[in-house]
Amino acid sequence: MAMKKSFSLLFFLPFLLLAIIYFVIFPNEFRLQSSLAACGDSAPATAADAVAKAAPDIRVLLGVLTRADKYERRALVRLAYALQPAPARAVVHVRFVVCNLTAEEDAALVGLEIAAYGDIIVLDCTENMDNGKTYTYFSAVPRLFAGEPYDYVGKTDDDTYYRLGALADALRDKPRRDAYYGFLTPCHADPRTQYMSGMGYVVSWDVAAWVAATPELQNDLKGPEDKLFGRWLRWGGRGRNVFGAEPRMYDYLDGGMRHGPTCFRHLLQADTVAVHKLKDNLKWARTLNFFNATEGHKASPLFHVDH
């Protein structure tokens, strides 16, 4: 019996010694592991993180007026906006705007885009540029987004590139009523006859609601849409808070163009809000490179694969 007890003590003695050594030398080990488990892999919060997570104080809808069959351009523009940094403290939704899908291929293929991206507004109109599409868009927006209205509603073209954070910052301190923002044209003209260039302009939500509620505007739909829009606002006494964005909004210019700088066209600049006249992929590529649109994104492991 005594031999059995001695054997048991000898058997458990090494484990007892290990336990004593562990708790004496590493008394905080369990607390340390518990702390690590609670923290996980999260890094300390930074000031930038706090800003990024702050509640948005401005909401902007930017409608890109385009045609249903312009698939390549839409894919490029969608990608250009998707890779921009998210605007701080702002919601800026970019939506493509087309008229009724009358062609069989458009009905099918645009339908696939809608299912994949959910960023296309289909208006009840016949496709046009200067025969009422802008009116249909602005008059439809208050109804489409009545449950969650925006502070500002913008219209732009598919050859214009907005820097969304710059746009939000430019609008943030502007009035939320009776506002009319964009590039004033013609340059140096009488302000009473100027209007915002169709490259892109923004109005406060109440102005869009006024367009929707004013059927008389349907009698004035033919002609350059940007000029008509300015005329509507003067007639109705709306958009009285006018803000010209020049020189931060302008037409594209590079050394290969036949015409040089003008009051509305100049070289790319760092504090740009919007660039217009990006009529081909090369102009888009140069513009995106200028604003470092490809920097900061994870490189694909499939790029330059060795054979």
User: Going from the N-terminus, what domains does the chain have, and what CATH number goes with each?
Assistant: 53-289 (3.90.550.10)
pLDDT at 37: 33
Q: Which residues, other chains included, contact 307 with Cβ-Cβ below 8 Å and sequence gap of 6+?
A: none
pLDDT at 191: 86
8 A C-beta contact, residue 109 and residue 117: no
**CA–CA gap between residue 153 and residue 229 (Å, rounded):** 13
What predicted TM-score, i.e. pTM, was given to this entire model? 0.80
pLDDT at 43: 43
**CA–CA gap between residue 62 and residue 64 (Å, rounded):** 6
pLDDT at 62: 98
**CA–CA gap between residue 141 and residue 16 (Å, rounded):** 76
287 residue type, one letter: T
pLDDT at 237: 97
pLDDT at 69: 97
pLDDT at 19: 46
pLDDT at 293: 78
pLDDT truncated to tens, each residue of the chain (307 aa)? 444 444 444 444 444 444 443 444 334 433 323 332 333 344 444 555 555 567 899 999 999 999 999 999 999 999 999 999 999 999 999 999 999 999 999 999 999 999 999 999 999 999 999 999 999 999 999 999 999 999 999 999 999 999 999 999 999 999 999 999 999 999 989 888 999 999 999 999 999 999 999 999 999 999 999 999 999 999 999 999 999 999 999 999 987 667 788 999 999 999 999 999 999 999 999 999 999 877 766 777 777 666 5
